[in-house]
Amino acid sequence: DTVMTQSPDSLAVSLGERATINCKSSQSILNSSNNKNYLAWYQQRPGQPPKLLIYWASMRESGVPDRFSGSGSGTDFTLTISSLQTEDVALYYCQQYYSSPSTFGQGTKLEIK
């Protein structure tokens, strides 16, 4: 199985500042035939189901604020929140869907400093 490793495990950022979460896959999740990275990011607030933020590594889901962006290719990926808001306090998960079984990172807890 492809192992997804997120860093850091937890992160505290001041309101209005940038938050960066990293995700590394144990093997490449880039499909060279279509040049797509099979990587998604989800946000999970306490007591809620996950919410899709980003897929194909950088495509923002409809309705997701543009302060959320995804980047990276191959095995190294980043979720960036450009200006942290109070409602962004949550757990964040990356997920690869290139190979079966699809696997998730362990999660990164984002808090306000």
Residue from 20, 24, 19 nearest 39 by CA? 24
Residue from 23, 19, 93, 18 nearest 53 by CA? 93
Helix, strand or coil for residue 86?
helix
Does the footprint of other proteins cover residue 55 (CB under 8 A)?
Answer: yes
Site string for other proteins, 19-48 (x = CB under 8 A): -------------------x-x-x-----x
What DSSP designation does 95 have?
E
Q: How far is the CB of 101 from other proteins (least distance, A)?
A: 5
Interface residues toward other proteins, by CB under 8 A: 38, 40, 42, 48-52, 55, 61, 93, 95, 97, 100-107
